[in-house]
């Protein structure tokens, strides 16, 4: 029995060495975008602060359309980092939110829509809102300049 436990422990340790060395590291979602994140501020109908959420769990569903969308954005900052030229976009999405009398669901993602498609979605821990609540999402997208 001790031999089996030792062999299982050794196999597990060797497996960790030869698998993903970036164990636990989040992927940005696409190699052209080293940083994709979302900040959400949630306020009630009176404007009182309810919650703040941040997320970096991003899905770039249509990279070419996302590039095209970003090309239409005027507000960007060009920076140099680690020998690369990067464009930084800050995109504010929504104020007013989906919180109405007939909405009783949970908000767990924000999308960037372009030409009728979701080009990118960022997921976060879901939250519920009351009618009249306001949620404001702010995307930060960093793109490598080719």
Q: Where are the domains of the chain?
A: 26-144
**Spatial CA neighbour of 111 closest among 119, 102, 103:** 119
Helix (H) or strand (E) holding 58: strand 57-60
**Spatial CA neighbour of 86 closest among 101, 75, 96, 76:** 76
User: What's the rounded Cα separation, in Å, for the pair 11 and 30?
Assistant: 32
Q: Residue 17: CB partners within 8 Å, gap ≥ 6?
A: none
pLDDT grade for 48, boundaries at 50, 70 and 90:
very high
pTM, rounded to two decimals: 0.71
User: What's the rounded Cα separation, in Å, for the pair 18 and 22?
Assistant: 11
The pLDDT assigned to 29 comes to 59
């Amino acid at each position: 029995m001790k031999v089996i436990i030792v062999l299982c422990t050794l196999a597990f340790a060797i497996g960790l060495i030869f698998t993903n060395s970036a164990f636990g590291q989040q992927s940005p979602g696409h190699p052209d975008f080293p940083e994709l994140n979302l900040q959400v501020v949630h306020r009630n109908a009176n404007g009182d602060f309810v919650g703040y959420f941040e997320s970096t769990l991003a899905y770039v569903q249509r990279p070419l359309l996302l590039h095209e969308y970003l090309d239409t954005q005027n507000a960007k900052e060009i920076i140099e980092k680690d020998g690369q030229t990067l464009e930084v976009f800050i995109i504010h999405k929504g104020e007013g939110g989906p919180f109405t009398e007939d909405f009783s669901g949970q908000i767990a993602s924000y999308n960037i829509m372009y030409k009728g498609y979701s080009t990118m979605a960022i997921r976060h821990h879901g939250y519920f809102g009351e009618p009249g609540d306001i949620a404001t999402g702010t995307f930060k997208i960093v793109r490598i300049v080719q």
